[in-house]
Amino acid sequence: MDEPSSWTFTGIALPDGRRRDLHVVDGLIAPEAGPGARVVDADGLLALPGLVDLHTHLREPGQTEAETIATGTAAAARGGYTATLAMANTSPVTDSGARVRALRELAAASGKHGPSTEVVAIGSVTRALAGEELADLDSMLAVGVRVFSDDGFSVPTAGLVRAAMEALLPFDAVLAEHCQDPTLAGSSACCHEGEVSRDLGLHGWPSIAESVVIARDVQVAGYLGARLHLCHVSTAEGVEVLRWAKARGIRVTAEVMPHHLLLSVDDLRQSFEGGAGDTTYKVNPPLRPADDVEAVRQALADGTIDAVATDHAPHRPSDKDKPFPEAKPGMVAVEQALSVVVETMVDQGRLSWAQVADRMSHTPARIGALRQQGRPLVVGEPANLVVVDPSARTVVDRDRSLSLARNNPYHGRSLPDPVVATFWRGRQTFTRG
Ligand code: DOR
């Protein structure tokens, strides 16, 4: 059966708590029901603007055994997302205008009906992510790229950060920094440096590996008046420097990941009890102690951290089935991101639904300069929305994931299961049935 082009959700709640009938007609939010509209009794359900993920690893081109644009965006739609910003660390790296165009063509040709979310290319800061010379920023800016990141690595020097920011400034484009200075950790660092790493005999990343990069970059951004976005802030020290920079009016924004809101280095420790450790818990930046978890929750609640992004990092089993220090870092995140935010923030009374819409849709759309996303749910706007059941829960089963990857840290946990259906430009891209 053909998908209807008109939908009516009767009595649905909006993020501010008001209830009304919401009409979708031909891709837009409409003042009244369209002809032949599918009518859904939405009593007890909530509509949020479609979520926007500033930080996804789609792995295509080049690593399609781990994920493809089709599977990664299907998983994102399952998580309530209508836009996915695709990190540049593919093979080849997205480091020129030609590569951006090639990625867009791959996305347009993916899936049966195209991708399940808008796919937006992030360009690399340095050529091939090598940290030596700038990537072809001009050609990427010319084709509309507005977010640039060497994610996976920090841009190695203040000089390169400055040169990149000077190129981006006239376009109001943003450098999204991965904050992890490798010179403060050994090459086999694989978890947080502290009590747990010492007990387990592992090499760790100290908290200051994050905060020194933040301190360096906010100074450069402040000096130039340029924009800076901080990827996956995970430490109390990092939050402290971020607060300092914001108090001075430096144009910095920041994101936090679901796993840094819910999981801690204690989950890692437990996985080593009687075993070799679960490499699912290996991620960069690493899982931190409880004090850091509390610091990032607090910063998200008070707006110091602007957004939740996912760092969805699918890996092949063969890249994870290794001794802990050798396994690839990263965990899948996009299907359970909202679940984790509900568990750690909404159900704790630390974020309202309107603030969830802000941190996961409006603000990331603004940071990523996406004009058709993160819009209010009012007549005339694109019908990008997620229908939420605030009270549903489930036990996460990684084998029911729409992602190709199984490195899911929430497997076996009971979590909220809020996403009922997702609509992108009025097209239903996910339904739980
Ligand atoms: O754990 C991570 N994995 N952190 C990153 O920054 C990169 C990502 C990946 O690409 O696998």
Check residue 2 and give its pLDDT.
65
Chain segment 171-188, per-residue pLDDT in tens: 999 999 999 999 999 899
In a domain, 138, yes or no: yes
Among the options 311, 319, 358, 417, which is catalytic?
Answer: 311
300/308 Cα distance (integer angstroms): 8
Q: Which percentage of the chain shows pLDDT scores above 90?
A: 97
Chain segment 383-395, per-residue pLDDT in tens: 999 999 999 999 9
In a domain, 214, yes or no: yes
| Statement: residue 4 has pLDDT above 90 | no
Chain segment 275-301, per-residue pLDDT in tens: 899 999 999 999 999 999 999 999 999
Instruction: Specify the residue with its C-alpha closest to ligand 1, atom 7.
Output: 152
Domain of 188, in residue numbers? 49-378
Identify the residues whose C-beta falls under 6 Å from ligand 1.
57, 89, 151-152, 178, 283-284, 311, 313, 328-330
In sequence order, what are the residues at sequence separation of 6 or more whose Cβ sits closer than 8 angstroms to the Cβ of residue 140? 94, 95, 96, 97, 100, 121, 123, 148
Distance 330 CA to ligand 1 centre (A): 5
How high does pLDDT run on average in the chain?
97
- Name the DSSP class of 133: S
In a domain, 115, yes or no: yes
Chain segment 229-254, per-residue pLDDT in tens: 999 999 999 999 999 999 999 999 99
Is-contact 141 171, C-beta < 8 A? Answer: yes
21 catalytically annotated? no
| Statement: residue 1 has pLDDT above 60 | no
Instruction: Record the tokens describing residue 336, joined without a space.
Output: 């359970």
Q: How many structural domains compose the chain?
A: 1
- What's the whole-number mean pLDDT along residues 41-61? 98
Chain segment 373-382, per-residue pLDDT in tens: 999 999 999 9
Element counts in the chain: helices (H) and strands (E): 14, 20
In a domain, 80, yes or no: yes
Distance 60 CA to ligand 1 centre (A): 15
The domain that holds 322 is classified in CATH as 3.20.20.140
In a domain, 321, yes or no: yes
In a domain, 174, yes or no: yes
Check residue 187 and give its pLDDT.
92
Give the model's confidence band at 371: pLDDT under 50 very low, under 70 low, under 90 confident, else very high: very high
Check residue 3 and give its pLDDT.
79
Chain segment 69-95, per-residue pLDDT in tens: 999 999 999 999 999 999 999 999 999
Could you tell me the pTM of the whole model?
Answer: 0.98
Work out which ligand 1 atom sits closest to the CA atom of 180: 6
- What's the whole-number mean pLDDT along residues 87-105? 98
In a domain, 367, yes or no: yes
Strands (E), 250-338: 252-256, 307-308
For a mutational test of ligand 1's pocket, the pick from 58, 284, 310, 319, i.e. the residue with the most ligand atoms closer than 8 A to its C-beta, is: 284
In a domain, 425, yes or no: no
Chain segment 323-336, per-residue pLDDT in tens: 999 999 999 999 99
